[in-house]
Chains A and B, each alone.
Chain A
Amino acid sequence: MIRLEHVTKVYEQNRAVALEDVSVDIQKGEFVFLVGPSGSGKSSMLKLLTRELAPSQGRIWVAGKELNSLSSWKVPYLRRNIGNIFQDFKLLPNKTVYENVAFALEVIGRPKHVVSQQVPQILELVGLANKRNNLPHQLSGGEQQRVSIARAFVNRPLILLADEPTGNLDPQTSVGIMRLLDRINKTGTTVLMATHDQNIVNSMRRRVIEMEPGGRVIRDQARGVYGYGA
């Protein structure tokens, strides 16, 4: 599902090395934690997978497509296979919960009847059916993250990329979010989650890929623990 082969990413402006010779292979349906201190290249790796960044060296495959040779007009179609979740939710403040989720379908040209069928379904799944007409600022952080998960998953992507999704949430709320991601993973969706949340990693015992500053992978462990700094 995701495959990196000797991938190096050097930012051209400041010559900073984000990733160095990273090779990773993630199968369909896996749940993978990406851990490591700030500046170890976790976010860069996620951005490489959506072709927001291009690698300096090496090759990347995502959802069966070889990204190096993917023409730029095909990138949007690649991204329809990938859901994204962020620490800061990235919700549109002037749209309701329903509209925020519907927006993701509308802008990729899904017909109205599909939108009006799938959005309530996904809101049910994330437990926000009763808040569909609320604006983001009327919701708690955990609820906002659920909206953003609904938006990322409403198109049933093959892959879910999460960049510190619990970074702004308290531990109890974080557990709820992780349960939701776990449920989504059980539907066969591959989940790759960059995180600093030691408790979550240690309690879930999934595959852990650890990176160090300079962008090297120093550990790739099945059913791993958070490890570093502990």
Chain B
Amino acid sequence: MSLKPAYFAKEAAINTRRNLLMAAAAVLAVTLSMFFVGSTMMVWRFFDNVTARWKNDVQINAFLADDASESQRSAAEVEIREWNEVKAVTFISKEEALDEFREMFADQEALVDSVTADTLPASFRISLEDPSMLPQVQDRLEKVAGIDDVVSAQEEVKRVQRVVTILNAFLLVLAVILVIAAVVLVSNTIRLAIYARRREIEIMRLVGATNWFIRWPFILEGLFQGLVGAGLAIAILLVVKKLAVQWLSNTASFLPLGIPGTFVAFAAFAMVFLSVLIAGGGSALSLRRYLDV
């Protein structure tokens, strides 16, 4: 039998117009769910950028107590240099710390102005021969006289990653709930469309229209809702991403904000693919239950 794409498209359009409100709700649900899927991907990629810089950095910052004497400082430096695990030790004075700080937050004058050399601690920057020795070295450092606090980038990375994981899990749960809602809503509009056309369907079956001939308009209708939803979600996501990058580059210019275009394209493709699955699933659900052909 000849397929008639124009006929199916026309029927699908009539169905959609008949139930504009329900169709709009279904599209909105697809849009929202896809927006959250997309945001999750972007957020994940962004923090991956941020933490990648630190991941292989096995530097330890050992901050000196403000009341540590000069002799305590040099004794500590000599001792640490002798450890086998340690590759290099650099002393960062209060003044050097301030210079670094000024450089790092160059754009944020208010912040720079509020800080003086006194408020920043002097520190040893220690790099290791073997990254896996980090916990042991950290423990030993904490016992050295004059050292107040020991911080490694690894810990910071882990802390950030923990936050990101929680944030992403939250976004993902939201996305899953919205995906389910989208499937239900698409399925419901299809069900209504089937109901509105039950007489036509009865006649079609009677005179021997094939099952696929009867199904196609409804599948197209669902697909259309899915694609419109995905398109809207991608547009909104791009706008939000642009605004977020603008905002972050003003307030947190030290963050690497570039997300590669290929990743954005990949995310967009994933969103379209998922929304087609949602629409297909929703349509199939109703076709199976209510279109007994």
Distance, CA A22 to CA B209, complexed state (A): 30
Q: Looking across the interface, which residue of chain A has its beta carbon closest to that of B199?
A: A92
Contact B207 A80 (CB under 8 A): yes
Contact A73 B199 (CB under 8 A): no
Nearest-neighbour CB distance to chain B for A215, whole angstroms, equals 23
Q: Which chain B residues lie closer than 8 Å to A72 at the CB level?
A: 211
Q: Which chain B residues lie closer than 8 Å to A92 at the CB level?
A: 199-200, 203
Q: Which chain B residues lie closer than 8 Å to A78 at the CB level?
A: 208
B78 is an interface residue with CB less than 8 A from chain A: no
Contact B1 A79 (CB under 8 A): no
Distance, CA A84 to CA B202, complexed state (A): 12
Distance, CA A77 to CA B209, complexed state (A): 8
Q: Which chain A residues lie closer than 8 Å to B203 at the CB level?
A: 90, 92, 103-104, 107, 151
Distance, CA A107 to CA B209, complexed state (A): 5
Contact B204 A107 (CB under 8 A): yes
Q: Which chain A residues lie closer than 8 Å to B199 at the CB level?
A: 90, 92-93
Contact B208 A108 (CB under 8 A): yes
A109 is an interface residue with CB less than 8 A from chain B: yes
CB 8 Å contact bits of A70-98 with B (1 = contact, 0 = none): 00110011111110100000101100000
Distance, CA A104 to CA B206, complexed state (A): 9
Distance, CA A92 to CA B214, complexed state (A): 16
Contact B202 A76 (CB under 8 A): no
Nearest-neighbour CB distance to chain B for A160, whole angstroms, equals 13
B210 is an interface residue with CB less than 8 A from chain A: yes
Q: Which chain B residues lie closer than 8 Å to A189 at the CB level?
A: none
Q: Looking across the interface, which residue of chain A has its beta carbon closest to that of B202?
A: A90
A155 is an interface residue with CB less than 8 A from chain B: yes
Q: Which chain B residues lie closer than 8 Å to A77 at the CB level?
A: 208
Contact A107 B213 (CB under 8 A): yes
Point out the residue from B7, B207, B213, B214 that lies within 8 Å of A104, measured CB to CB.
Answer: B207
Point out the residue from B2, B4, B210 that lies within 8 Å of A73, measured CB to CB.
Answer: B210
Distance, CA A166 to CA B61, complexed state (A): 98
CB 8 Å contact bits of B170-210 with A (1 = contact, 0 = none): 00000000000000000000000000000110111111111
Q: Looking across the interface, which residue of chain A has its beta carbon closest to that of B197?
A: A92
Distance, CA A81 to CA B207, complexed state (A): 9
Distance, CA A103 to CA B205, complexed state (A): 12
Nearest-neighbour CB distance to chain A for B198, whole angstroms, equals 11
Residue among A76, A93, A106, A151 having the largest count of chain B Cβ atoms under 10 Å: A76
Q: Which of B1-22 contact A (CB under 8 A)?
A: 1-2, 4, 7
Contact B209 A108 (CB under 8 A): yes
Nearest-neighbour CB distance to chain B for A29, whole angstroms, equals 22
Point out the residue from B2, B200, B211 that lies within 8 Å of A76, measured CB to CB.
Answer: B211
Contact A109 B4 (CB under 8 A): yes
Distance, CA A71 to CA B213, complexed state (A): 17
Contact B213 A109 (CB under 8 A): yes
Q: Which chain B residues lie closer than 8 Å to A79 at the CB level?
A: 205-208
Contact B202 A107 (CB under 8 A): no
Distance, CA A104 to CA B207, complexed state (A): 6
Q: Looking across the interface, which residue of chain B has its beta carbon closest to that of A74?
A: B210
Q: Which chain A residues lie closer than 8 Å to B1 at the CB level?
A: 108-109
Q: Which chain A residues lie closer than 8 Å to B206 at the CB level?
A: 50, 79, 84, 90
Contact B208 A109 (CB under 8 A): no
Q: Looking across the interface, which residue of chain A has its beta carbon closest to that of B1?
A: A109
Distance, CA A21 to CA B207, complexed state (A): 29
Point out the residue from A73, A93, A108, A111 that lies within 8 Å of B207, measured CB to CB.
Answer: A108
Q: Which of A30-81 contact B (CB under 8 A)?
A: 50, 72-73, 76-81
5 contacts across the A-B interface (CB closer than 8 A): A77-B208, A107-B204, A107-B207, A109-B2, A155-B208
Give residues in A with beta carbon < 8 Å to B.
50, 72-73, 76-82, 84, 90, 92-93, 103-104, 106-109, 111, 151, 155
Known: A73-B211, A107-B204. 15 other contacts (CB 8 A): A50-B206, A76-B210, A79-B206, A80-B207, A90-B199, A90-B206, A93-B199, A104-B207, A108-B1, A108-B208, A108-B210, A109-B1, A109-B213, A151-B203, A155-B208
Shortest 6 CB-CB distances between A and B: which pairs? A79-B208, A80-B208, A107-B209, A109-B1, A104-B207, A76-B208
Give residues in B with beta carbon < 8 Å to A.
1-2, 4, 7, 199-200, 202-211, 213-214
